[in-house]
Amino acid sequence: MSRMRKPPQPPRSQAGPAAWRRDRLGVAVRAAQQCGDVWQLAPGVYVAATAGPCETVLRRTTYEYETTPGTFLPAKRPDGSVPGPTERAHGHAARMRALRPKAVAARIGDIAPGAARFAADWPLGQDLSVLPRAQRVLAGIGSRYLFSGDAERLQAAGARLAETREQIIRSWPLPPWVPTPARRFLARQQAVFDAELRAVIDRRRTTGRLGDDLLGQMLRPSSQYGLLPDAAIIDSLTGLIVATAETPTRAVGWILLTLARHPRVADRVAAEAGALPADPHAVTGAHLDRLRYTQAVVREVLRLYPPNWLLARRATAPAELGGYPVEPDTTVLVCPYTAHRDPAQHPDPLQLRPERWLDESGSLVVPGVFLPFSTGPRACEGTAMALAELTLIAAETARRYRLSEPPGPVPSHRIATFGALTPVGLRLRATPRS
């Protein structure tokens, strides 16, 4: 195979820099239709557009590909060094003790009250801007899941981190080393969060009351790695406190918009949610398991509107993708949006069909590629928690209200930060169900 063979490239008038800046999503859809599995956006920049290439890149991340540099600065030990690969592996294992599906199901009673409050406190008789409120609620749920009794102390600092990170993402594609005002401000906000979290860690270690939350799991030594250093804990949780609200907020927006636009779907979700306990603290993993249609709706919305519609990877070794050679340092953009809308994976891909996620007995299945939280070694650790939150928010909202869109402009998903699919300008009105 010739090393010079390159993926096809759409006409510059349709996929050049100006067109890409103006309408990334539209360019990606048209190019996938014209060029197939893999196409070239620019020299050294390939796009994986269908299931096979997308999954190949994501599953080979850490082996042939790496993620792009993160927004946050690595936490440092007292000697100035940063956590290494072994400590990062220990940190991942410690986090997953609290984030695996069984662990999330066991703590569903800590998640359900926030979902119920989101619905119960919806102001009636007005058109509500959904996303800011969803973000506050999800940030509260996430903080309590991570830090339980210390959540209030850390949530405000985490919110400032999230807000500043959003400003930096909007400045893409400036390289991460460019010292913009937003990045300097982020460094100061990160230092504040680090100090707050370090004080909580010191108090828990000193008293011996480590806690049963995610932080408590990270403070416990493991038989394989021993005690995790403070810097590795802080390094992990700085990004995680932002992630618990960022992606789920966009997903909540798309889910609630879908319930407003599809009343019959909303009615069926409401009927299913009627079996939830009146006291949200009494909700268990078994109750969540019974919300099968609601879970199918959530998955179908995430298929149609993956909150992270474009993921960036960089090749670190020679590889092959869709029959084309990939040289080291090539950027590969993985596009779940087009992969999810591939008719080879999902028949009638543009139609909302929650039933595709259910078999004849009503059990959940995975009918095709599903990448809203990525996959492989760098898949989202909080997938189980996010799906639980989204399912409960959809159920609690639908059983209380009928949602509708107010007259005026429809939400736009094209004016979005790089890689983020957001229903910009989403406003909804809630009418109580009789």
Report yes or no on whether pTM surpasses 0.85: yes
Contact 174, 68 (CB under 8 A): no
pLDDT tens figures, 296-336: 999 999 999 999 999 999 999 999 999 999 999 999 999 99
pLDDT tens figures, 354-366: 999 999 998 999 9
pLDDT tens figures, 81-127: 888 888 888 888 899 999 999 999 999 999 999 999 999 999 988 99
- Mean pLDDT on 370-394: 96
Which amino acid does the sequence have at 221?
A: P
The three-state DSSP-derived secondary structure of 259-295 is: HHHCHHHHHHHHHHHCCCCCCHHHCCHHHHHHCHHHH
Q: CA 165 to CA 193: how far, in whole Å?
A: 14
Contact 402, 267 (CB under 8 A): no
Q: CA 142 to CA 95: how far, in whole Å?
A: 13
pLDDT tens figures, 241-279: 989 988 999 999 999 999 999 999 999 999 999 999 999
